[in-house]
Chain A
Amino acid sequence: MLASMNNTEISTPLRGVARRELLAWMWLLAATATAAKATHLTYGFVRASRAAQQTTSFDVGAMADLPAPGAAPRSVPEGRFWLAQTEEGVAALDGVCTHLDCLLGWDEQAHAFACPCHGSRFDADGRYVAGPAPRDMDRFAVAVVAAEGEPVASTDFAAGKLAAPVNLDSEDAAANLHVVVDISQEALGAPAA
């Protein structure tokens, strides 16, 4: 009954692509390409970030002022890292939680790092203990330099050396050696077991 109201299809024999149709397709292609390029340029525009003027090298003082091996790590808030003397040497632990970028705090009683946001925990050497964090705390490059500026020991991330090993002969040496941390060089922590 309603059939008479339906649109009647007019069947036309199939031919090759007509000139007009080809031109229409080319227009469409050109418009798509333009839109894609415009999106790409906009993306590049939005993505560009102004280079931040940031200190990357921190002279954190004499070796003698470092926490003793096994003692609580020392916070360097302006660099957002912690200094610790591990068995392998001097290490600079990135204070940013490897989970979601909150800053870790030090829990004196448990002798561990604790994240205030989601409860991840790391031991004094930055090794993963508990919580949702995916890996150990990250580490920054450390160089131990003599008063004249020549390096005595340093980290070497390429070789897997995550701490700067120092053999101290005397208290004098500890007072004269300076620790310099470079936060532009970072080694990611080992995945949590």
Chain B
Amino acid sequence: MSGETTSDDRAGREAHGIFAGLSWREVRALLRGDPPTARPNPRYRAHVNSFLLHIRPRYYPAAATRLTHTWFLGLLAVFLFVVELVTGVLLMIFYAPTPEQAYGSLLAIAYHIPFGALLRDVHRLAAEAMVVVVVLHMARVFVTGSYKGPRAFTWLTGVLLLLVTLLLSFSGYLLPWDQLAYWAVTIGTSMAQAAPLIGPELNLLLRGAAEIGADGLLRFYLLHVLLLPLAGILLLAVHYYRVARQHGISLPAAVEEGNLTPAARQAATQKIDFLPTLFLRELVVISAALLALLAAAFYFFEAPLEQHADPFHTPLNTQAPWFFLWVQGLLKLGDKTLMGVIVPVLVFLLLAAVPYLDRNPARRWQRRPLALTLGLTLMIGVGILSYMGTASYGITLPPAVGIGETLAPEEGEGALRRLPYAALTPGSHALDQPFPPTTSPALQSALTTYAGLVEAAVTAGELPQGQAFLDIVERQADLKAVTLRIQWQPPGAATPLAYTRTIYLHRERNADATAQNP
């Protein structure tokens, strides 16, 4: 060591704390891709000096970091979890968990607070993406057989993390206090009630009263912002510790079991340093993911907000969140205790037990036909059940109500609400008459859709002698009432039956295409 003190060294002392004990020269070398400036490698020392670096291994075997092996799915899951924590804390600043204020604070976040809508969109989108990424991560680990041997317990913590992810998403559902929230959670807690022995108590614990109200909202809020995130962080710590510190990321099965040439094997197990190679690689992945998330939330995604929760009316087409549609599908099949509690619990127990049930030591997919077939069957089964969970399956609306629900649904938009305000030509439009020339093209197109639906129902004999109208009345300046009117004459009935549905459309609403409901 020379006795001279250079400016680099002085800067290095200043940077000592920030760069985990690395000298400034070393940081520059690291960022430029130069080899370490001293021996032993000072970058390894940084892993000892810094808490954040110390939780990362100093190096990984090359093959374990291949993109086609991990797809960065674990990293992405953690990234999305952090996005949820950050956006969640920011949203909490304006959110009030009471039935009187919750919906209003959501409107304020969406329409008045700068970047509020974007923040909420990102929070919601990242939550749904997290479910997808966690499931894909699990599928990857299953296909590569990485859950076997010493990693069995890691898989178990992973299944618990999946459960926490799903419960976090679901507990977040109630917070907007809109119709979707209220009824999805009513069904969810009612399912909990169907659990044997502990059911009624569990339901009471979750709702805080016989029905969901102020107490239930507060309880779900606390679960969502406190208990479940804490559980998630703890489980994540255990999960990560076992992956990074105890067993390492698994090598690809082909490397572990295959006949590789010594050179190929050496290349596969060669050390890749975290600093700088993997650090920079992860930085790129996270930056790209953040950009993609922001762009998707900004241009393509709008977090839904339905009408204010109404404990006195269950909307038509009530549907579970997409990741629980399979449970809704199961529920349509039979007894709620069996289908709503026992079967889903068994599915999770089965998932958790996979490494303990699968005694086949082989990891390569070619040698695991049974395991992969069963895995694929489970995925297909969940897919089919999800389809059966959709509102259109197994729930028949009366034909006229179905037409009204298609054109002007209780929740959501539909063809009529999509019409520009100016296109709503006042007057009574009978569908069996030719449209007057003053009818706007947009309205003509909606009327044609309407007529098609009615005609199909009439042809099918569901609306005998059916006649349909669309009445548009300007109720006051800038407000039009749009009424669907369908009349039909059932055989043998003395008087014709009628169905009417009115929605009100305001000029300003159509000016703002982002509004969900009039």
Contacts and interface: CB of A to CB of B under 8 A. Distances in A.
A118 B205 contact: no
A46, A100, A103: most-surrounded residue (chain B CB, <10 A): A100
A47 B336 CA distance: 24
Interface stretch (B15-23, B326-334, B369-377): B326-334
A80 B312 CA distance: 6
Contacts of B400: 109
Contacts of B398: 107-110
Given A49-B209, A117-B314, A109 B328 contact: no
A118 B328 contact: yes
A2 interface: no
A115 B315 CA distance: 10
Nearest to A112: B398
B165 to A, nearest CB: 23
B332 A100 contact: no
Contact of A118 (B210, B331, B399, B490): B331
Contact of B191 (A49, A52, A100, A108): A100
A115 B314 CA distance: 9
Contact of B314 (A47, A49, A116): A116
A78 interface: yes
Nearest to B395: A119
Contact of B313 (A47, A52, A77): A77
A109 B497 contact: yes
A101 interface: yes
Given A107-B398, A108-B398, A132-B335, A101 B209 contact: no
A99 interface: yes
A118 B395 contact: yes
A50 B312 contact: no
B245 to A, nearest CB: 23
Interface in B307-343: 311-318, 328, 331-336, 339-340
Given A80-B312, A107-B398, A114-B395, 14 more contacts: A47-B204, A78-B312, A99-B336, A100-B187, A100-B194, A101-B187, A104-B314, A107-B397, A109-B399, A109-B400, A115-B314, A116-B316, A116-B318, A134-B336
14 contacts: A47-B205, A50-B209, A78-B312, A80-B312, A100-B191, A101-B187, A102-B186, A103-B313, A103-B314, A115-B395, A116-B317, A117-B183, A132-B332, A132-B339
Interface of B: 183, 186-187, 190-191, 194, 201, 204-205, 208-210, 213, 215, 311-318, 328, 331-336, 339-340, 394-401, 490, 497
Interface of A: 46-47, 49-50, 52, 77-78, 80, 99-105, 107-110, 114-119, 131-132, 134
